[in-house]
Amino acid sequence: MLAASPIFPPRHFEKHLEQSAMPRILVTPFLLHGKPGPYRDVLEAGGCEIVYPTIDDAGLYGGQLYTQLGGIDGVLAGAEPYTREVLEGSKLRAIARMGVGYDAVDVAAATERGIVVTIAPGTNEHSVAEHALALLLGVFRGFPGRDREVRTGVWQRRPLWRLAGKTIGLVGLGRIGKAVVPRAQALGLSVIAYDPLPDRDFAARHDVRLCTLEELLGESHIVSLHLPCTPETIDLVNARTLAMMRPGAVLVNTARGGLVDEDALADALRTGRLAAAGLDVFKVEPLPLDSPLLKLDNVLLAPHMAGLDEESNEAMSRLAAECLAQLARGDWPQGCVVNAELRAGWKW
């Protein structure tokens, strides 16, 4: 029998080559594109090929994500939407979110297709907490409005509110909510909190009074959101719950845009029911230019950047890369997998 030609190998050898091919990982976050860092070191050490998108962020968020997934095995993902339609047209084995939220991924559809979804817990809570306080301080001290006034020759020394002595209500007391607590208390704020599964020991040790959501809304001068977006929490802030808030309160959202009915919030801000809002996240991102929120001067806006500082960017991308590298070699990333029911029998 003739030996198999090295130019035309038998089909079983082709299959072996396919199975042993280097995993191709698409890295979508723009901040990482083409840049060195621990995430690259981890993926390369794990035998992965790194691929960057050929379209910009607007394309990734605007319905063209599916065009980037041909031949891709895993994604080190930002907040771009992985819908059922996108997933069904792919051959993905894993999506590693560079962050702690996963509402941009249709987890049910991913699970049906055997796609492991991971997050990066414990990497960005300090950044989010600082950003929440930055929005709060900006609102209470009138920035950036006061800066704009001075630049245009307006010298208006109008007093605003003092933070010290006010009550901040944290809706959610997980890692991020807990990181807000000492920062808020350092500003002289009293802290109360609502959480479906509260850490009572933490609350007792840090002088945080636990209460119901209704009590929190009625008592807080500032309501700061720190819950994930789930079917149970979508539009948690709506016309009914906004009416429960004390007149002149301030809303801060650094969690997820899906928590807030933006039309109802705009109405409450427009009528003066709420004094102001500081928002980092929105239902649709980037925020559409016809959003009613853009017509209001008592809203301080940011482009979903709360979890990003230099340190968290490195930590999140490294952990996401570690999750992908572990999965590619047959290990399971402990404490990071969202759809852990896939573990039994799952293979890359």
To the query of whether residue 131 is one of the catalytic residues in this protein, the response is no
The active-site residue out of 256, 262, 273, 322 is 256
Which residue type is seen at 337? V
Q: Which residues contact 250 (CB under 8 A, 6 or more apart)?
A: 136, 139, 140, 221, 222, 223, 274, 275, 276, 277, 278
CA distance 189 to 181: 9
Q: Coil, strand, or helix at residue 200?
A: helix
To the query of whether residue 146 is one of the catalytic residues in this protein, the response is no
Partners of 87 in the β-ladder: none
Exposure string of 18-31, with b = 16+ CB inside 10 Å and e = fewer, is eeeeebbbbbbbee
To the query of whether residue 151 is one of the catalytic residues in this protein, the response is no
The active-site residue out of 149, 215, 219, 285 is 285
| Helix or strand holding residue 77 (H, E) | strand 74-77
How many C-beta atoms lie closer than 10 Å to residue 17's C-beta? 9
- Which residues are part of the catalytic machinery? 256, 285, 304
